[in-house]
């Protein structure tokens, strides 16, 4: 399968969940998590057919994007007690509750592959440190989600809608991404039914990009990823790979990082085909966007 930079939202959610756990854990042990710079491969979008991968790096629900864990730093922490510290997702209260349920929904889905994921951990780290931490992390998730019911999971969309109506940008982005996924699915179905005829693209499809960029300009990273995705293909007649790369750079940007034409974004499809000058333009555009939307956030 061709390596690409397009990865599913679901996978990003699992990685974000792991990062949230790590961040909270680091409050207790600042040196517990050490960055690893080698063999890190965590693309943030899906493949060219937009299929969902099990994970970004072959490590399932424990793919935290290249970290090394020292067992002695967390072994004495009781994960059940740690789990009692509620994760704050910020934003409107309805959004925070929806995210809590969403994290648990993703955990329930990913837990179906727990045995395989733990085996992947053993293969990737024969020392057993990663597997030990994965099991510790599993206990946290089990505790956090043990009282979440199927009825709670069915409230996610309604809670997101409540928050979106109240002006929560992240909730608005969630709804926009759901709309985009639905429209893309319809487009694909029509194309599969009649491969020789390009499906009609209406105003709703064309307006997706404007809505995504508007939310991205307010600092929403998921909207930036959606803008990158929409401009990466000609599905809705808006293909501009250089612009797509710029939005992808904004989406993965961390404070303090420099926008560069040598960013790892350009190692993957469709951006690996961009010439040096195009990469420089993308990096410059990304910097300009970031200065407007996110620099002071």
What is the full DSSP assignment across 237-284?
S---HHHHHHHHHHHH--TTPPP-TTSGGGGSBTGGGS-HHHHHHHHH
**Domain-embedded: residue 20:** yes
Q: Clarify whether residues 284 and 183 are in a common domain.
A: yes
Q: Clarify whether residues 135 and 209 are in a common domain.
A: no
272 token code pair? 């690996």
Of 74 and 97, the one with more pLDDT:
97
pLDDT in tens, 156-171: 999 999 999 999 999 9
Number of domains in the chain: 2
Question: Could you tell me which residues are beta bridge partners of residue 69?
Answer: 33
Q: How far is it, in rounded angstroms, from Cα 125 to Cα 236?
A: 43
Question: What is the domain range of residue 114?
Answer: 9-87+110-147
Q: Clarify whether residues 126 and 181 are in a common domain.
A: no
Q: Clarify whether residues 82 and 204 are in a common domain.
A: no
Q: Clarify whether residues 128 and 208 are in a common domain.
A: no
**Domain-embedded: residue 95:** no
Q: Clarify whether residues 131 and 210 are in a common domain.
A: no
Mean pLDDT throughout 254-269?
87
Where residue 210 falls among pLDDT bands split at 50, 70, 90? very high
Q: How far is it, in rounded angstroms, from Cα 106 to Cα 80?
A: 20
Mean pLDDT throughout 273-288?
96
> Nearest to residue 98, comparing CAs of 44, 21, 173?
173
């Amino acid at each position: 399968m061709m390596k690409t930079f397009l990865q599913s939202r679901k996978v990003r959610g699992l990685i974000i969940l792991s990062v949230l756990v790590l961040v909270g854990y680091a409050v207790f042990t600042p040196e517990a998590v050490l960055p690893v710079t080698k063999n890190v491969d965590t693309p943030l979008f899906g493949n060219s057919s937009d299929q969902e991968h099990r994970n970004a790096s072959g490590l399932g629900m424990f793919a935290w994007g290249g970290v090394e864990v020292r067992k002695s730093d967390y072994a004495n922490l009781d994960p059940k007690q740690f789990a009692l510290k509620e994760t704050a997702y910020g934003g409107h209260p309805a959004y925070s509750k929806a995210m809590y349920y969403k994290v648990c929904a993703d955990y329930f889905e990913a837990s179906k592959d727990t045995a395989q994921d733990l085996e992947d951990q053993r293969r990737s780290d024969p020392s057993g440190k990663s597997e030990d931490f994965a099991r510790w992390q599993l206990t946290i998730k089990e505790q956090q989600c043990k009282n979440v019911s199927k009825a709670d999971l069915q409230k996610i969309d309604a809670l997101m809608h409540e928050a979106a109506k109240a002006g929560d940008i992240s909730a608005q982005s969630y709804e926009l991404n759901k709309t985009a996924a639905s429209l893309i699915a319809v487009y694909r179905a029509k194309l599969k039914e009649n491969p020789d005829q390009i499906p009609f693209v209406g105003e709703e499809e064309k307006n997706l990009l404007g809505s995504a960029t508007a939310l991205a300009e307010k600092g929403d990273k998921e909207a930036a990823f959606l803008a990158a995705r929409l401009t990466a293909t000609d599905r809705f007649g808006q293909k501009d790979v250089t612009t797509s790369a710029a939005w992808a750079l904004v989406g993965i940007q961390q404070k303090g990082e420099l926008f560069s034409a040598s960013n790892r974004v350009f190692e993957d499809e469709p951006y690996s085909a961009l010439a040096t000058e195009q990469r420089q333009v993308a990096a410059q555009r990304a910097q300009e966007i970031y200065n407007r939307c996110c620099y002071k956030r």
